[in-house]
Structure 1
Amino acid sequence: MMRKKELVEAVVARSGLKKKDVKPAVEATLAVLGDALKEGRTLNLEPMGKVKINREKMLASGRMMVARIRQRDPQPHDATEATDTAASPDTSAE
């Protein structure tokens, strides 16, 4: 499980920015994303992916949301590579 502290540290490591600059930006981003989900909005944030709320239920402790997340494959499969290997005859049996 990734917590906010670990997320802030990862952003600091990846961006090279200082923690005092990163933490407020991460907190603001999480607040905006939380508000959007609360409103029932679909998020399309590459490379994280597309987040769509499928169901939600109000509980005594808060709101439970069931979401579907779809991420694109970072490296698209080369269709010609699959057809080239299937189309070329195996000459090792001769």
Structure 2
Amino acid sequence: MKKKELIEAVVERSGVRKKFAKPAIEAMMEVLGEAIAEGRDLNLPPMGKIKQQRTKEAANVRVTVAKIRQSKEAGAAKDLEGPENPKQGVAEAAE
């Protein structure tokens, strides 16, 4: 899922206008990015608990390996999966 898709999904689900949702979502993503950069664990139900395992610094990037523990009830959207709504990954494969 890309940021644009996230914003569209939040607008659709919440009924909030895009011009109000977008700045809030972008601010949330900045806060989460800073917390990950600091090495902090995140506990964000229903998304789950994100615990960093290790971090590696490279030329212009930081690679963080983390575990996500999510309760089975958090996957309520899974009920919507099927031929019309296939399961989609959260991250894209690195090239």
Shorter-chain TM-score tier: 0.7 to 0.9
Residue 9 of structure 1: how far off its partner (Å): 0.2
Deviation at 1:69, TM superposition (A): 0.2
Structure 1 match to 2:14: 15
Structure with higher RCO (Cα < 8 A, 6+ apart): 2
The Cα offsets for residues 43-80 of structure 1, whole Å up to 9 and x where unpaired, read as: 000000000110100000210000000001108xxxxx
Whole-angstrom distance in 1 between the partners of 2:63 and 2:72: 28
Name the structure 1 match of 2:31: 32
Q: Number of aligned pairs?
A: 74
Q: What is the CA distance between 1:41 and its match in structure 2? A: 0.4
Q: Distance in 2 between matches of 1:50 and 1:61?
A: 27
Structure number with bigger Rg:
1
Q: 2 CA distance for matches of 1:6 and 1:22?
A: 13
Match of 1:57 in 2: 56
Gaps of 5+ in 1: 76-94
TM-score by length of structure 1 reads 0.77
CA RMSD of aligned residues (A): 1.0
Which runs of 5 or more structure 2 residues have no equivalent in the other structure?
A: 75-95
Task: Give the secondary-structure state (helix, strand or coil) at the position aligned to 1:74.
Answer: helix
- Map of 1:72-83 to 2, 5 A cutoff? 72-74=71-73
Percent identity of paired positions between Structure 1 and Structure 2: 58
**Superposition misfits of 4+ residues, deviation over 2 angstroms:** none
